[in-house]
Structure 1
């Protein structure tokens, strides 16, 4: 390598200082990431006489070429970064001539400079010089420092955006959770005719289950248990819309069939068929002991009499929101014997699996009911939750929200 005179060293240091100044000014002026990569490219070309450069940056765990210029170079935006580089060049600059199997596309580049932060390689700068006036170990170290400043600034911006987005998402989830909590009734009936208890165990921060109990007048009470497809904020908002529609229809004294038809229209219009809701509605008349009900694609509620077989309440229609009109709607009717128990729930209660992939299922629910039939409702719920927790021998947890709403008819 030719001897560098003191005058030339000073000249090169001035050029390095100019390059450093340009990069730091560009960072402080809050340019876009694409603009910063272009400024980096032009700075190396103009200040340091770097004639060939390729910059790869790791984004979303994938390597992407962000800058590429120089005579005789391929379009590296279409070239995958070889594992021969990523596996071996992780700390200090590497000479490409020492690496095997890179192929002719890399022959006009000489040095790979890893940009390392906190032990991880964030970028690679590849240099190919035509002129020898800026070459050698000192030049490579400065290029590594300059690249570190640029890539580090861009990474810090990305992390800052992620923190802002995460904070916004946390706030959104917090609001959705508050909305969901407001949907649940604050008090449940417990009088001479009925006693009601509910349990809700969300699978995620914001679940898609919903239950409601509405006193229509002194003689009638409506039960509802629903499960919206999907989870999170979108599911919570759709369920909020569903509840608002339900309460409006009940204030208008709509019958059960009308309630189902109108809510189906509401969900279909708002979700466009992309989401649906399974729901069970039960309307109990304290005076006549008649329970009218509609099961819209939901898990079959279980009516357990004081004696005799358990009755699964299946009459109804398909899930709501799938079609503009619900087909073949059938409102079920049953006279409830004294001392009967009604158990309604969402599929999170039954879709629990043991290590052999056996499902807890409706049989598991019935087994617990046979053992706890006359226990307080709170105890029945606790036993059901305890049983499915024990059944989950694999320890993977529940795959969905668990909602239980039960009613004891006196």
Structure 2
């Protein structure tokens, strides 16, 4: 050890200052190099910890960072120090230490906090993003200037991590937007571009998604000169997974129709397909109908869906209930009945998803099937497009949330001439 007995005190003091500045510069370089090397957040926190220990000889370090509104301890290091990763940040610190360093001894905190000396808030735009707690600091590194440097160093670290988090969120949001765009395109391709409208039958469909990607689906497929299949379905869940399940469902349906199989076989095979793809965790309610123009007969299967309403020109309403349970919840359907209905001239058939009827007013009363039947009785001879608009207008007027419906709405109606 060099002999400093003959050195003037001012020179010694200057040497100490220069040494501290050199240590601070080294600490700053270590942190900035780590940031520039695109180091992971976890590694950055470790470098911060060992930089304070190795360069500045700070023996106890605790760092709390605000992440998505919650305070989390990301660094907890020091001799005889509690594991602060398991300790909530006290309100006393949050409420008191907002504009500058605070002495731990001035706060009414538990015994585990007494091993620390100082709390340093790290702020950006008047908002506290982090708290650095230090303890067992060498005497030469405990003045106000040192505290300001620690605050600056911590600000660089926390700012870099916050920027990475925001960048990650932007990338994730961009990826999600792209995923939604693709799913929307897939969903739009699922819907038929042309619906039957001839001298025997007219079909019209309306679809109002609740979110960017809905969970409803409808289809109309020509089988031969006389017959066409139509269906309305509602998949559990929303978003991209629901869209993908619907695309599998449609692909399976189209393949089975090309094989000219019976309706019962179509339903069994689609149930097996859905169960295999989702393992029973997702399901689809669906109404299938096959109409024969030559015989005026409708074969149908209602798989746990809202009962379509068949309104003849005269006589009582008929509800199409025959069928089975929802598809996809079990490997084999426990029962299946194929219903059949004769379709009188000038009948109206309305298929829909539950978003059309599960609408509530300010008192909590439901629009329901009763409201729907009253509406179609009043307006049954309107052109189908106008009828659908009237349905949507009336439930919007009825709903306490107006046009912010709680679920997707799909309407498919057939007018038999």
Q: Distance in 2 between matches of 1:394 and 1:208?
A: 20
Deviations for 1:310-351, whole angstroms, at most 9, x for unmatched residues?
A: 111100000001111112211111110000000000011011
Query: How far is 1:91 from its partner?
Result: 2.4
Aligned equivalent of 2:299, options 280, 289, 292: 292
RMSD of aligned residue pairs (Cα, Å) = 1.4
Aligned equivalent of 2:400, options 388, 393, 404: 393
Q: Indicate yes or no: 2:73 matched with 1:65.
A: yes
Taking the TM superposition and a 5 Å limit, the aligned residue runs for 1:215-234 are 215-234=222-241
Deviations for 1:76-122, whole angstroms, at most 9, x for unmatched residues?
A: 1121111111122122211122212x111111111111111233222
TM-score by length of 1: 0.97
Gaps (5+ residues) in structure 1?
none
Q: Indicate yes or no: 2:60 matched with 1:52.
A: yes
Q: Decide whether the 8 Å contact of 2:396 with 2:403 is kept in 1.
A: no
1:340 is matched with 347
Number of equivalent positions: 408
2:328 is matched with 321
Give the secondary structure class of the aligned counterpart of 2:58: coil
Q: Distance in 2 between matches of 1:119 and 1:256?
A: 67
TM-score by length of 2: 0.95
2:6 is matched with none
2:82 is matched with 74
Give the secondary structure class of the aligned counterpart of 2:96: coil
1:8 is matched with 16
Q: Distance in 2 between matches of 1:119 and 1:408?
A: 65
Q: Distance in 2 between matches of 1:160 and 1:323?
A: 43
Aligned equivalent of 1:241, options 245, 248, 252: 248
Q: Distance in 1 between matches of 2:361 and 2:179?
A: 35
1:36 is matched with 44
1:17 is matched with 25
Aligned equivalent of 1:380, options 360, 381, 387: 387
Aligned equivalent of 1:176, options 168, 177, 183: 183
Runs of 4+ off more than 4 Å: none
2:314 is matched with 307
Give the secondary structure class of the aligned counterpart of 2:140: coil
Query: How far is 1:9 from its partner?
Result: 1.8
1:160 is matched with 167
Give the secondary structure class of the aligned counterpart of 2:249: helix
Give the secondary structure class of the aligned counterpart of 2:139: coil
Query: How far is 1:129 from its partner?
Result: 2.9
Q: Distance in 1 between matches of 2:198 and 2:77?
A: 81
Query: How far is 1:239 from its partner?
Result: 0.3
Deviations for 1:187-213, whole angstroms, at most 9, x for unmatched residues?
A: 111001100100000000001110001
Aligned equivalent of 2:126, options 114, 119, 122: 119
Taking the TM superposition and a 5 Å limit, the aligned residue runs for 1:195-206 are 195-206=202-213
Q: Distance in 2 between matches of 1:176 and 1:10?
A: 62
Q: Distance in 2 between matches of 1:233 and 1:362?
A: 30
Deviations for 1:200-229, whole angstroms, at most 9, x for unmatched residues?
A: 000000011100011111111111100110
Query: How far is 1:130 from its partner?
Result: 4.0
> Which deviates the most, 383-392 or 89-98?
89-98
Q: Distance in 2 between matches of 1:149 and 1:172?
A: 34
Q: Distance in 1 between matches of 2:53 and 2:165?
A: 26
> Which deviates the most, 89-98 or 373-382?
89-98
Gaps (5+ residues) in structure 2?
1-8
